[in-house]
Amino acid sequence: MSNRVAMVTGGAQGIGKGIATTLAEAGFKVAVADLNLPAAEQTAKEIGAAAGTAIAVEIDVTRTASVESAVRAVEAALGPVEVVVNNAGWDDFMPFVKTTEEFWTRFSTSTSRARYGSSRQSCRG
């Protein structure tokens, strides 16, 4: 069993779930960090059933306090985070010509904050 720990934001479904599963298969203990906690719990359960080690952690990557809380929870349960996969983001799929300035502000803010907050908090040690 490896002592390496990875946290995957947006890890409950889609590409994030694939990344979390692959990291677990490679021997990492994985934190499935997602805003959708029930989906994160399901993914962590599936990883555990396949002989991996995973926990689910609720995270809102746009809120610093949520990121800090999630990283503390991961470190308490699994150990120091060595790998952060910043997969979480926000989008509202629509034709480009129908987007608004408010849409682009929310999109760019959530995406930038997601990368910054998760990486910064995990690297603080």
The residue behind tokens 């991961």 is: 74
Give one DSSP letter per residue of 43-88, joined into a string: HHHHHHHTT-EEEEEE--TT-HHHHHHHHHHHHHHH-S--EEEE--
Q: Report whether 119 contacts 86 (CB < 8 A).
A: yes
Q: Give pLDDT, residue 114.
A: 65
Q: Give pLDDT, residue 109.
A: 76
Q: What is the pLDDT along the chain (125 residues), one digit of tens a residue?
A: 568 999 999 999 999 999 999 999 999 999 999 999 999 999 999 999 999 999 999 999 888 899 999 999 999 999 999 999 999 877 778 899 998 998 888 888 777 766 666 666 676 65
Instruction: Quick: pLDDT tens for 93-104.
Output: 889 999 899 888
Whole-prediction pTM: 0.85
What the block records as the tokens of 22 is 């692959």
Q: Give pLDDT, residue 4.
A: 96
Compute how many other C-beta atoms are within 10 angstroms of the C-beta atom of residue 80: 12
Name the amino acid, one letter, at 26.
A
Q: Give pLDDT, residue 66.
A: 92
